[in-house]
Every structure is written in C-alpha cells, then in structure tokens.
Amino acid sequence: MKKPRRGHIVLISSSSALVGEPFEAGYAVSKVGVIILGRSLARNLGQYEVTMNCVSPGWTLTDMSADDLKGETGERVTRQIAVGRIGRPEEIAGAVLYFASDLSSFVTGQNLVVDGGE
C-alpha cells in the first residue's frame, strides 16, 4: 500500500470500548486499544495516502451473541437501543464497505460507532 500510495485499512472494535459493559472491563479495554491503534497508524500511514479507520459495532445478532440476546437480557438490550432492535451483520458491513472504498479517501483515524443509537 505504501508504494502505490493507495489503500484502506478497516479495524473492528466494539461500542463496548466507549460505554463498557458490567463485568467486561478487559474486553472494553482491549477494544479501546484497537481504536487508538487505528488513530496512531492513521497518522503514520497518511503520508502514503493509506487510510486507517475503525468500525465499532453495538449489539449485533450473530452466532456469538445469539445466546446472550435471549430472554430478558435481549429485551433489556433492545430497550436501550434507539431504533428498538438488535443490529444485523449486513448493517455493520455497510460501514466497513464505506471505509474500504474510495468514498472515504479523505477520512482517516476515525471510529464509526454502528449501534442503532444505544
């Protein structure tokens, strides 16, 4: 990417980096690290016109989260989300696609939270 002076790198973090979750401090700290890594590398890679951005999904219905979102926990989480539902993987993919495309060629070092307004 340096030699052709072109490219886009997208990191995935989590909205937990910004709000934290009870009993999940280690997870939240690791996700903050991803965001800061992206901001730092954006400063290093900008001179090569390589962008580095991050997407931080909120609750998203995946195989990993399906059990966590059952029953009362799922209802509580859904009530905290402004749009009133859990996100879908393709909604996260849209944000990643934006950062991976030339539409974002002047955007670098940013973190886009995709959490339905949680």
At 21 the pLDDT is: 74
Active-site position among 14, 15, 16, 56: 14
Distance CA 38, CA 44 (A): 10
For residue 110, name the pLDDT band (cuts at 50, 70, 90).
Answer: very high
Check if 98 is active-site. no
Distance CA 86, CA 116 (A): 8
Burial 96-115, CB ≥16 within 10 A → b, else e: bebbbeeebeeebbbbbbbb
Burial class (CB in 10 A: 0-12, 13-18, 19+), 22: exposed
Between residues 24 and 55, the one the model is more confident about: 55
Check if 27 is active-site. yes
Q: What is the mean pLDDT of the chain?
A: 94
CATH of 7-114, one of 3.30.70.270, 3.40.50.720, 3.40.50.800, 3.40.50.10800: 3.40.50.720
Active-site position among 27, 30, 98, 104: 27
Residue 20 clears pLDDT 80, i.e. is over it: no
61-99 pLDDT tens trace: 999 899 989 999 899 999 999 999 999 999 999 999 999
- Nearest Cα residue to 57 out of 114, 110, 18, 17: 114
Check if 65 is active-site. no
pTM of the model: 0.92
- Nearest Cα residue to 56 out of 21, 99, 11, 25: 11
